[in-house]
Amino acid sequence: MDFSPERAKILAQHELVDFFAGELKTLPPTVAHRPFFEKLRSGLTPFTFPLSKATGEGLNLADVKVIHAQARELNLAIRQSE
C-alpha cells in the first residue's frame, strides 16, 4: 500500500525463500509428497524471479504486488490445512 524502494528492500531477502525451500527438502518422503507440502513447495517458485531481479535493479511496485499475491496464496493454503 505504501510502496517505497526502501521498504521493498526488506522483501528482497532471497535467503528466506532458500531457507524454507531447504527445510521442505528435509521432510521424509511420506510427508513431503502430501498435497499440502507439494503446494507449499510449488508456491515458493514464483518468488524466485522478483527476488533475483531485486539484487540488481531493486524491486518495483509490480514486483511487490507479485510477491504479495504469492504470499497471500501460501497463507491461505496454510490456514486451510489447519
What's the whole-model pTM score? Answer: 0.64
Among 2-6, 27-31, 48-52, 73-77, top mean pLDDT goes to: 27-31
Q: Which domain holds residue 59?
A: 5-81
**What contacts 52, CB < 8 A, 6 or more positions away?**
14
Q: What is the mean pLDDT of residues 54-68?
A: 78
Instruction: Give the span between the Cα atoms of 51 and 3, in whole angstroms.
Output: 16
Band (pLDDT 50/70/90 cuts) for residue 12 is: confident
How far apart (Å, rounded) are the C-alpha atoms in residues 28 and 16?
Answer: 21
| Residues 20, 1: Cα–Cα separation, whole Å | 26
- CA angle 53/58/60 to nearest 5° reads 95
Total tally of structural domains belonging to the chain = 1
pLDDT at 50: 67
